Structure 1
Amino acid sequence: MSELVSDYVLRRLREWGVEKVFSYAGDGINGILAAWQRAGNDPRFIQARHEELAAFEAVGYAKFSGRTGVCMATGGPGAVHLLNGLYDAKLDHVPMVAIVGQQGSTSLGGAYQQEIDLNSLYKDVASEYVQFVSTPQQLPNALDRAMRTAQAKRTVTALIIPGDVQDMEYSPPTHAFKMVPSSLGISGSTVTPAHEDVKHAAEILNSGQRVAIMVGQGARDARDEVMEVADVLGAGVAKALLGKDVLPDDPPYVTGSSGLLGTRPSWELMRDCDTLLMVGASFPYSQFLPEFDQARAVQIDIDPTLIGMRYPFEVNLLGDARATLRELLPLLERKQDRSWREQVERTVRDWWDVMERRAGVEADPINPERVFHELSPMLPDNAMLTSDSGSAANWYARHLKIRGDIRGSLSGTLATMGPGAPYATGAKFAHPERPVFALVGDGAMQMNGINELITIAHYWSEWQDPRVVIGVLNNRDLNQVTWELRAMSGAPQFLPSQRLPEFGYAAFAESLGLRGIKVDQPDHIHNAWQQAIQADRPCLVEFVTDPAVPPIPPEANWDQMESVVEAMVKGDPETWPMIKEGAKAKVQEFLPGRTDRE
């Protein structure tokens, strides 16, 4: 049998080293599905429960493997469903290739069933490269450019292949007019800035007395260099949320996450510094950076479209984080006065004491902060962590300490609900020998995490390490939005939009053959985590938590406090629990000493 276009698509993906494609079947890709049968399921078809989940799984796979994620869907509704996951990849700078079907070429423009103008639909999410494949000879160049562009620019690309084109006999481009040949691969490269610019940056950093460093995910391969720069400059280091796993939290000068979900030491680091070095971060919240006239600043970033934003940087160094820091280090002068570093370390020590006390505050029935605080020291050193948008992200950002080879991620820039569980599936396909922990709220579980459990139940037995631990905060409330209504709009909780229906998460996991544990007493938290970590299969731990425990920002301003009071006056149904839990949480910041719990 002659090779068809659909056969060639899979062959070319194999030649690019693609091992897994996350997808859901549909008649718009029937030709490629038939080719998969002929190809012996190589690359492997990973079946999701929904195209959005397939895209999230591919994002998780790409984030934790460092490879390009590939997802596939039918045209029409399937292509629409992919979009949320694709935007998540685009905004977090994750390389992703989407291959989508389309109605047959002869029907296009005829208002045919499931016909959508996919070029227009995808022109934003795949703005760097989206191509409609109309002839077999066009395919090698289109697919190669999609793969190469996604890798080189860390973005989303897309190919649209009509069903009849999939079934055409494949023929390569010829050595002829208006034919475009192609080739595989793209070499790695290391970009470094001009020496004069590096020298200028060193002069700024050497002149500072109170240096702060902010790192993002772009500094992930420069851990040792960042730590050495911090040591030479006596600097404190804050982490953007997507850069949480760039540095461990063991060094006493690492202040933790920054921003609305961040720590007080990170906020104070930026408030009091006179010099700022930002490495591999496109941190969006300028209000959590120094005042514009406060600090001299230097930025290092590999992306020329993102450099120079967020702050009036004096020097913008375009280059690879690791290579640029290595160029910079010999030019830096060691700070002899370590008083700034000592101040930073004091604030970090005090903060961890505060977090321990806040985790120990009683709640009705369980304080969600304690759930995360007790998990942190129990995490294996090679754990992979995922979190979802919502109040769970606050506790992920503040309570979980990175150490060893722990990796972690969430939807950083799009901040969409729903990726926590499918990220975990993608992470397991990237590293089946490592345990993964998905930390999500009940809203995200009801949105799509329940369906993702079916996929996990389907595949878990083949993973070398079967541990997938899913921690669900069951507070019957869309909690983050509820608190945003109070703090930003002065509006009370609106029960018809915020109250969630009851659901037995642990019982559902058990019905799938997974392990399910429900915890409604704080003294059972530790044992539940221990059972989950020791389980011989994926385990969902459902924690019944108190929605009145506030996700207090690192520095709540007067306007926010006024808004919360206004919400209470307007009749918030949780007024008394809010007052009680908010006061107990806030007072921990002012208590002296340390309170140890067994």
Structure 2
Amino acid sequence: MSKSVADFLVERLTKWGVNRVFGYPGEGINGILGALDKHQDSIRFIQARHEEMAAFMACAHAKFTSQASVCVATSGGGAVHLLNGLYDAAKDHQPVVAIVGQQSRNALGGTYQQEIDLPALFKDVAAYVQMVVAPAQMRHVIDRAMRIAQAERTVTCVVIPLDVQSMEAVETPPREHGTVHSGAGYQPPRTVPAAADLQRAADILNQGERVAMLVGAGALGAGDEVLQTANLLGAGIAKALLGKTVVADDEPNVTGAIGLLGTKPSWQLMKECDTLLMVGSGFPYSEFLPEEGQARGVQIDIEPRMLNLRYPMEASLVGDSKATLRELIPLLEHKEERAWQEQIKENVRDWWKILKARAMKSANPINPQRVFWELSSRLPDNCIITTDAGSAANWYARDLKVRPTMMASLSGGLASMGSGVPYAIAAKFAHPERPVIALVGDGAMQMNGNAELVTVQKYWQSWQDPHFVVLVLNNRDLNQVTWEQRVLAGDPRFKDSQALPDFPYADYAKLLGFEGILVDDPEKLGSAWDQALNARRPVLIEARTDADVPPLPPHLTLEQVKAYLSALLKGDPDAAGVIASSIKQASGNWLGKNT
């Protein structure tokens, strides 16, 4: 029996090291599904509940493996569904290849059922989009899609009409004019700046008296070099959300997250520094960086297009973070004056006391910060943590102390709701031996998470290690947006928009054969986490939390205070509870410093 184009595609993906694809079936990819069925010994098809979830899974799989990952979808609606997850990958610079079906070539241009101009549709999100119209084209198209995705850490897309999938494969194109003869495989280069550029950067850093570092996802794997650099320069280290696991949170000069979800020590670090070193970060919010002209700047990034974009830099170094820091470190002078760093450490010590005081404040019924505070000391050494967009990301950013052996991620650049559970599923497939914890709000759970628990039910017994925990913050409110309405727009909570129907998450988990734990008493949070982290099957913890507990920014501006008061004066339906909780949280600022 002759080999089909679809068979050749699957074999070529195997040659590129792909061992699983995430997707959802449909007529437009029947040929590809048949080929995957025949090649189950080399590539496993992971069935999500929705194509968007498959793309989220591919993005997370790329994050947790540092390898190009693949998702597949049918033509028409299936292709459209992929887009949000693919934009997540594109915004977070992850190598994802989307393979999409299309109607047969003879029907194209005839407004046929499910016919969409797919190259046009994917042109914005994908750096390379190509439709395969002849068997001999398949080899070089998939090779280019894989290579570009890896080399540029981006999204690529291959569109394959249904009739082409079943045609006889051409493994070796004829050696003639008008053909392309490609090869598989890619190894990233070692990219470091020129010696003169490194010396210019070192001179700036050596002259600085108050050095601040900001590290992001591009610095993952360079934690030792980041710490060594900070110790030489007497610097503090702030972390963008995607760089949370670059260095441990218990390092005394690590100020934690930066931004609206960040910490006061990070805000102070940027407010008072005279030199800024950004490593592998595209953190976008200028109001949380030094004022222009306040600090001299040095930036390290592997992508030239991300240099000098967030702050005016005197030295912009194109290079891999780990390799570049290794070249830079011998040029740095050890600063004898440590008053700046000692002040940073004091700020960090005070901040952790404040966070504990805030977390232990009473609420109705549970303070969401305490849910995360109780988890923090119980985190397994080699766990993988995912979190969703929304208020859960606030507490994840601030209250969890991560260690270097852990992995963690979320939808960063896109900040898309509904990604937490599919991210966790992908993490478990990427590292089946490691415990995985998903931290999700009830809005995201109702949007996507409940459905993807069915995916967990389908696959969990095949995982090497069964530890898989989903936390749901059940506050019956789209809480992050509610607080943004109050503090950023000056509007009261819009109940019709923000209120969520209650749902029995723990009972639903039990229906799926998992352990379901309902917690509405803060004193039982610790035992609930202990039970969940030691269970031999997936667990869902439903924590009944108080929507009125404010996610206080690291620094309240006059505009934010005015907007907040305006929202309350306009008749916020939860004003009484919001005021009471805000007073409690604000009191934690001074109580924490004196405990």
Q: TM-score range by the shorter chain?
A: over 0.9
- Which amino acid is 2:145 matched to? A
1:342-367, Cα deviation, whole Å (9 max, x unpaired): 00000000000000000000000000
CA distance in 2, matches of 1:230, 1:206: 12
Q: By how many angstroms is 1:60 displaced?
A: 1.4
Q: By how many angstroms is 1:40 displaced?
A: 3.3
- Which amino acid is 1:568 matched to? L
CA distance in 1, matches of 2:436, 2:233: 36
Q: Is the 8 A contact 2:261 2:393 kept in 1?
A: yes
Matched residue, 1:300: 300
Q: Which residues of 2 match residues 327-406 of structure 1 at below 5 A?
A: 327-406=327-406
Matched residue, 2:152: 153
Unaligned runs of 5+ in 1: none
CA distance in 1, matches of 2:415, 2:436: 20
CA distance in 1, matches of 2:166, 2:593: 72
| Structure 1 length-normalised TM | 0.98
Q: By how many angstroms is 1:593 displaced?
A: 4.3
- Which amino acid is 1:485 matched to? Q
2:29 is the counterpart of 1:32: no
1:374-396, Cα deviation, whole Å (9 max, x unpaired): 10000001010000000000000
Matched residue, 1:142: 141
2:88 is the counterpart of 1:117: no
CA distance in 2, matches of 1:594, 1:54: 49
SS, match of residue 472 in structure 2? strand
- Which amino acid is 1:264 matched to? K
2:531 is the counterpart of 1:531: yes
CA distance in 1, matches of 2:255, 2:34: 53
CA distance in 1, matches of 2:593, 2:225: 34
Q: By how many angstroms is 1:557 displaced?
A: 0.7
CA distance in 2, matches of 1:41, 1:512: 28
2:174 is the counterpart of 1:164: no
Q: By how many angstroms is 1:41 displaced?
A: 5.5
SS, match of residue 137 in structure 2? helix
2:444 is the counterpart of 1:435: no
CA distance in 2, matches of 1:593, 1:53: 44
What is the aligned residue count? 594
Unaligned runs of 5+ in 2: none
1:410-441, Cα deviation, whole Å (9 max, x unpaired): 00110000110000000000000000100000
Q: By how many angstroms is 1:506 displaced?
A: 0.6
| Structure 2 length-normalised TM | 0.99
CA distance in 2, matches of 1:582, 1:507: 32
Q: By how many angstroms is 1:326 displaced?
A: 1.2
CA distance in 2, matches of 1:212, 1:488: 28
- Which amino acid is 2:161 matched to? P
1:250-297, Cα deviation, whole Å (9 max, x unpaired): 210000011110111000000000001000001101110111111001
Q: Is the 8 A contact 2:245 2:404 kept in 1?
A: no
Matched residue, 1:243: 243
CA change 1:8–1:69 in 2 (3 A) is same
CA distance in 2, matches of 1:433, 1:107: 47
- Which amino acid is 1:5 matched to? V
- Which amino acid is 1:261 matched to? L
Q: By how many angstroms is 1:188 displaced?
A: 2.4
Q: Which residues of 2 match residues 576-587 of structure 1 at below 5 A?
A: 576-587=576-587
SS, match of residue 438 in structure 1? strand
Q: Percent identity?
A: 57
Matched residue, 2:92: 92
CA change 1:592–1:301 in 2 (3 A) is closer
CA distance in 1, matches of 2:367, 2:376: 15
Q: Is the 8 A contact 2:353 2:592 kept in 1?
A: no
1:100-122, Cα deviation, whole Å (9 max, x unpaired): 00000000000100101101100
SS, match of residue 271 in structure 1? helix
Q: By how many angstroms is 1:583 displaced?
A: 1.0
CA distance in 1, matches of 2:163, 2:394: 49
- Which amino acid is 1:287 matched to? E
Q: By how many angstroms is 1:464 displaced?
A: 1.2
SS, match of residue 305 in structure 1? helix
Matched residue, 2:7: 7
CA distance in 2, matches of 1:592, 1:469: 31
Q: By how many angstroms is 1:159 displaced?
A: 0.2
Q: By how many angstroms is 1:592 displaced?
A: 5.8
2:560 is the counterpart of 1:565: no
Q: Is the 8 A contact 2:354 2:592 kept in 1?
A: no
Q: Is the 8 A contact 2:76 2:102 kept in 1?
A: yes
- Which amino acid is 2:291 matched to? E
Q: By how many angstroms is 1:404 displaced?
A: 3.7
Matched residue, 1:217: 217
Q: Is the 8 A contact 2:59 2:94 kept in 1?
A: yes
Q: By how many angstroms is 1:30 displaced?
A: 0.4
Matched residue, 1:107: 107
Q: By how many angstroms is 1:586 displaced?
A: 1.2
Matched residue, 1:56: 56
CA RMSD of aligned residues (A): 0.8
Q: Which residues of 2 match residues 514-525 of structure 1 at below 5 A?
A: 514-525=514-525
CA distance in 1, matches of 2:189, 2:594: 49
CA distance in 2, matches of 1:102, 1:510: 40
- Which amino acid is 1:499 matched to? A
Q: By how many angstroms is 1:38 displaced?
A: 2.2
1:549-587, Cα deviation, whole Å (9 max, x unpaired): 001111111111111111111110010101000111012
CA distance in 1, matches of 2:515, 2:353: 34
Q: By how many angstroms is 1:37 displaced?
A: 2.3
CA distance in 1, matches of 2:316, 2:424: 36
SS, match of residue 451 in structure 1? helix
CA change 1:357–1:281 in 2 (3 A) is same
SS, match of residue 460 in structure 1? helix
Matched residue, 1:466: 466
CA distance in 1, matches of 2:133, 2:505: 47
SS, match of residue 35 in structure 1? helix
1:483-538, Cα deviation, whole Å (9 max, x unpaired): 00011111111111100011010110100001100101111111111110011101
